[in-house]
Amino acid sequence: MLNRTDRLRLLALLLWTLPVAALLPLGGLWLWRSGNLLWWLAAMVACSAVGYGFQWWLRRRDRRLLAGAQTAPDPQWPPRSQAAWAAIESMAQAVKPEDWPLTDNPRLPDLGRAALEAVARIYFPEVERPLLELTLPHLLLIIERAARDLRTEVAGQLPLSHRLTLGDLMRAYRWKATAERLLDLYRAGRLVFNPASAVLSEAWGGLRTKAFGAAWSDLHRWLLQEYIRKVGFYAIELYSGRLVLTEGAPTAVTPASRQDLERTATATADLATEPLRILVLGRANAGKSSLINALFGQLIAPADVLPDPAAPIAPYRLERAGLTSALVFDTPGCDTAGLTPKAVDRLASSVDLVLWVTAAQRPDRQAERETLDRLRALWAARPDHHPPPLLVAVSHIDLLRPPREWQPPYDLANPQGSKATNIRAALEAVAQDLAVPLADVIPVCLAEGRVYNVTDTLWAALLERQGAADRVRLLRCLDERKRAEDWALLRQQLAGAGRFLARLPGRLLP
């Protein structure tokens, strides 16, 4: 080291620091002769303890700040995405800073690739190398989004990160070994001139180094964990169909809803987002159309005594305070030829909420249970989507015994009288027969002049499940947008290939 250093410059540096360095032994000697050395030692220990405690508090504060800045999963993710995030979070918690030094830059991409593989393994468990299922444009999009978010967080959380250059960090790292040797020489000299002060300073320096080292380790771990979480977050967004290559509103009106709105003679220019799609299902004469009329507060759907199997599935646009603009679909009975099981499955796969209507006085619900079980199996087979919320409206409660008694409202939590007791028993029977929670079973009366429990209890239940229905709507819109994007990109690529082939003869011929 001396051969590489200018001795004259080193001598000038020593002469400049000698007066300051002499203060330590001379000050210790003066404290000893004046009898104040013990007081000084006590003050040094007290200040060291307070400083260490303050450093410990700062470390806890920094941990809380870093924890508040970490990436969190999207609550709207479907079940498979939640499982992928659990794998990413487990990987982030297990990462060790000593295994991934920031000075070893070529290794950091390996950590990102491991996060991508952890997510890909959830979505393609049967593929030997699931990472190869990723397209190049989507891989670049993940890198772009993760780098953008990590840049924002580093600039907002790390002091002076916008001022320190990579060159500054590299130069500081190169001088680290030289600075440590000079510090060792200084500590050895201080031990010779002032042993007591040197011992206490070494103890305090050890605590301080440990505290700062722990703080740096926390920051290093946070950086690695955020790197894993960011890459994993956007990989989940991609594999779940929520991350697309084109820009645009994620809930724009889909072509299917646009056609349905045109059938309702409703202008779509004033509708900027996709409406909720609410499907009303049930057996014939259960009261489906009457329930729709009660929801709208007017006669809008024809309610016939004799069901028409050839009646088409009719959409109606519903707009009420507190509810996102919705399309309500009236259907023929599930037990009629007008609605086959395949048609029911197709409808149930394209809606955001299902409103099932069943008659309270009909105990034969085996066919309804089979239809609902088939729909639940259909939804369970799609782990990349949320199942639409299911509400059951129990109609004709006014016909329960005693049939002549009708004096609403009824307190079904604490039923008083035979009518309320029978309504409560009917709700429990429906919940058991159809395998739905009792909280999702709403009693209603739809008879003319006796409409009951629709605009209050049933409407409140619809609003309560609007958030879950919105999550279903978002994923449905993203699926539609992904399909449209695939076709648009394919047309664009074919057009570009056609133009290239058209110009190819001119380029090959002289």
Sorted by where each begins, the domain ranges of the chain are 36-239, 255-474
Structure tokens at 291: 């329930």
In our burial notation (b when 16+ CB lie closer than 10 A, e otherwise), range 254-263 reads: beebeebbee
Mean pLDDT of 348-366: 94
Give the model's confidence band at 109: pLDDT under 50 very low, under 70 low, under 90 confident, else very high. Answer: confident
Most confident of 60-69, 206-215, 217-226, 304-313: 217-226
* Structure-model confidence comparison of residues 432 and 231, the more confident one: 432
Going by C-beta distance under 8 Å and a sequence separation of 6 or more, which residues neighbour residue 447? Answer: 396, 398
Give, for 276, the enclosing helix (H) or strand (E): strand 276-282
Q: Which CATH architecture has domain 255-474?
A: 3-Layer(aba) Sandwich (3.40)
Share of the chain above pLDDT 70, in %: 73
DSSP SS3 for 358: strand
- Cross-strand partners of 392: 356, 441
Which two tokens mark 438?
A: 């009792």
Residue 1's pLDDT is what?
44
Q: Which helix (H) or strand (E) holds 426?
A: helix 418-434
Residue 472's Cβ-side half-sphere holds a number of Cα atoms within 13 Å equal to: 23
Taking the CA atoms of residue 362, residue 367, residue 368 and residue 371 in that order, the dihedral angle to the nearest 10 degrees is: -170
- pLDDT-based confidence at residue 444 (cuts at 50, 70, 90): very high
- pLDDT band at residue 211, thresholds of 50, 70 and 90? very low
Secondary structure E strands in 283-352? 314-318, 326-330
Backbone angles phi, psi at 89, to 5 degrees: -65, -40
Burial class (CB in 10 A: 0-12, 13-18, 19+), 359: buried
Give the tokens for residue 338: 């007008």
Q: Tell me, what's the pLDDT at 474?
A: 86
Q: Which residue type sits at 134?
A: L
Residue 277 near residue 473 (C-beta atoms within 8 A): yes
Summarize pLDDT for 272-296 with one digit per residue, the tens.
Answer: 789 999 999 999 999 999 999 999 9
DSSP state at residue 372: H
Distances (CA, A) of 267 to 243, 324, 459: 30, 16, 25
Q: What are 391's two structure tokens?
A: 């509400």
DSSP for 92-147, written as a single string: HHH--GGGS-TT-GGGHHHHHHHHHHHHHHHH-TT-SSGGGGS-HHHHHHHHHHHH
pLDDT of 202 over the 90 cut: no
Confidence of residue 315 (pLDDT cuts 50, 70, 90): very high
Determine the Cα–Cα distance for residues 379 and 14; give it in Å rounded to an integer. Answer: 78
207 pLDDT higher than 50: no
- Could you report the per-residue pLDDT of 136-180, keeping only the tens digit for each? 777 777 777 777 776 776 676 566 566 666 555 555 555 555 555
pLDDT at 465 over 90: yes
pLDDT band at 509 (very low <50, low <70, confident <90, very high): low
Query: Strand, helix or coil at 440?
Result: helix
Q: What is the pTM of this model?
A: 0.68
CB 323 within 8 A of CB 354: no
| Highest mean pLDDT: which range of 94-108, 347-361, 401-415 | 347-361
Which of 221-225, 356-360, 478-482, 488-492 has the least mean pLDDT? 488-492
d(CA 70, CA 219): 12
What is the CA 123 to chain-centroid distance, rounded?
17
What CA–CA distance (Å, rounded) separates 82 from 77? 6
Which of 51-60, 314-323, 445-454 is predicted least confidently? 51-60
The rounded Cα 323 to chain-centroid distance in angstroms is 23
Q: Could you tell me the two tokens for 118?
A: 């952890």
pLDDT at 365 over 50: yes
- Residue 76: pLDDT above 50? yes
Helical segments of 105-253, H only = 108-123, 136-157, 166-174, 176-193, 195-239
CB–CB of 347/388 below 8 Å?
Answer: no
Residues in CB range of 197: below 8 A, 6 or more apart = 24, 28, 190
